[in-house]
Amino acid sequence: MRLSGRVATITGSGRGMGEVMARAFAREGASVVISDINLEAAQSVAEDIVRQGGKACAVRIDVTKSEDADLLADAAVKQFGKLDIHVNNAGISTTKLFLDTPREDLERILQVNLVGAFLCAQAAVRRMLPNKYGRVINIASLSGQRGGVGRAAYGTSKAALELLTKVMSVELASSGITVNNIAPGAIATKMAAEQHDKATRDAYHYLIPQRRYGTPEEVADAAVFLASEEARHVCGHTLNVDGGYQTAGLMFTLGSSEAPPPPAV
């Protein structure tokens, strides 16, 4: 129960990694505001958490709207009395070559992944400041750290989010609010299943030292840590949950004439 007594808001928590994080936070004792652009999905998650003995409520928000960012933060205060933890998880992606990426795609992705995180974090922090306590966790990405094919728009939005996290951390640390990133690598989510073709999956399996995709539960474990008292002196850090991908260089079996191992299934 590392989050007992805490109140958390998580964007995009009606499904995928956000849902798994919300359930993990609730199991650790937090009261959770489930938010998603799909209200039915958010309500379904919140109701299930309550059925299992947790505390949760649901709101529909569009993270790109300032008034919705305020709505989310106010929902936490109104329903549970305060706001301690905010996770910027909502995000969208596309896989298109730089020259094939239309301006509309770039602007849409930046609005959700960067502007949305900016607005929701602002609203959350304004409710945290009176209590001199807070945790903000931004879900960045390995794509914001390395130049991957087809990641012109998505990778740019996540790289900007990493820098925003550093600025926020420096400005807010003395107020008792820590700000950190989680940078997932290839994670077995519905979005990945929809957007990663065989070539993409084979490439990831070959380049990740653990030879597998991560799971949403492994990202949620990292989020619980950063939201807990165990991470009270961690500020402005990016925690990669990527099976070693960011660290890896040349990989082969030393002294062997065999070809590199085939991609994992």
Contacts of 76 (CB under 8 A, 6+ apart): 7, 8, 9, 31, 33, 82, 83, 127
Give the integer Cα–Cα distance in Å for 219 and 242.
Answer: 9
Catalytic residue among 133, 154, 213, 245: 154
The pLDDT tens digits along the chain (265 residues) read: 999 999 999 999 999 999 999 999 999 999 999 999 999 999 999 999 999 999 999 999 999 999 999 999 999 999 999 999 999 999 999 989 999 999 999 999 999 999 999 999 999 999 999 999 999 999 999 999 999 899 999 999 999 999 999 999 999 999 999 999 999 998 988 877 877 888 888 888 888 998 999 999 999 999 999 999 999 999 999 999 999 989 988 887 777 665 555 555 4
Dihedral over Cα of 127, 131, 132, 136: its sign? negative
Give the integer Cα–Cα distance in Å for 100 and 183.
Answer: 26
User: Has 154 been annotated as catalytic?
Assistant: yes
How is the chain split into domains, by residue range?
7-241
Contacts 24+ apart (CB under 8 A), 195-199: 195/93, 195/94, 195/95
- Contact criterion met (CB below 8 Å) for 251 and 259: no
Q: Give me the CATH topology for the region 7-241.
A: Rossmann fold (3.40.50)
